Structure 1
Amino acid sequence: MKVWLFLMGAILSEVVATSALKASDGFSRLWPSLLTAGGYMVAFYLLSQTLRHIPVGIAYALWSGIGIVLISLIAWLLYGQKLDLPAIVGMGLIIAGVAVINLFSNSAAH
């Protein structure tokens, strides 16, 4: 169970870091820049701990899939990014893929 908390922590840290990266305005603003650097450091540390127990392909599929959906939602809420129907359908397919991996794959650590 702890490994899944590490993975979720890694994903959330990466999402915070990426959101702060947008706010850093090309690293020209101090606090968002520091949050970006710190968030990525935490994310990669937690991901490295995750990879001790979950295969890299599975961990990365979950990391990137969940991260894409969360970043897109944050960009929509905070930055006014438009999400058209193909984008929403694509994210739905990503969510379905993550569910299939977690529910049916023997490759994922359960």
Structure 2
Amino acid sequence: MNPYLLLAAAIVSEVFGSSMLKLSDGFKRWQPAIGVIVGMGLAFYCLSHALTSIPLGTAYAIWSGVGTALTAIIGVVAYKEPFDWKKGLGLLLIIGGVVMMRLTGGGH
């Protein structure tokens, strides 16, 4: 399977798991807690397979950058968390860093 598709699956799974953390209420609600465990387990499984072909630095930059941006967007949209220019600038800088890591072959 394409390693970047595996990385994308890892990111989506991790973002799902992180979103379920918010709903689990400190693991007091069992349905979202199961979502955390499944989401994070699938994320690390997919990431481990992606790392067989993608350099660690590149994969981690993409994983953390895209995951952070998606999680922040979910926070704003689903949980009505505030969004201001500082958060927007931070997300743009993260995305810019991911792009630079990818363009320079970060991790080689």
Same fold, TM-score > 0.5, yes or no:
yes
Residue 36 of structure 1 is matched in structure 2 by: 36
Q: TM-score of the superposition, structure 2-length normalised? A: 0.93
Could you tell me how far 1:108 is from its partner in structure 2?
6.6
Corresponding letter in the other structure for 1:77: V
Residue 73 of structure 1 is matched in structure 2 by: 73
1: distance between equivalents of 2:64 and 2:97? 11
Corresponding letter in the other structure for 2:39: G
Q: TM-score of the superposition, structure 1-length normalised? A: 0.91
Q: 1:14-67 CA distances to partner (integer Å, 9 max, x unpaired)?
A: 000000010000001111000100000000000000111111111111100000
Question: Match of 2:53, SS?
Answer: coil
State the identity %. Answer: 41
Could you tell me how far 1:100 is from its partner in structure 2?
2.4
1: distance between equivalents of 2:93 and 2:101? 12
Corresponding letter in the other structure for 2:77: L
Alignment of 1:1-110 (within 5 A): 2-102=2-102, 104-107=103-106
Q: RMSD over aligned Cα, in angstroms? A: 1.5
Structure 1 unmatched runs, 5+: none
Runs of 4+ in 1 over 6 A off after TM superposition: none
Contact 2:57 2:106 in 1 (8 A): no
Structure 2 unmatched runs, 5+: none
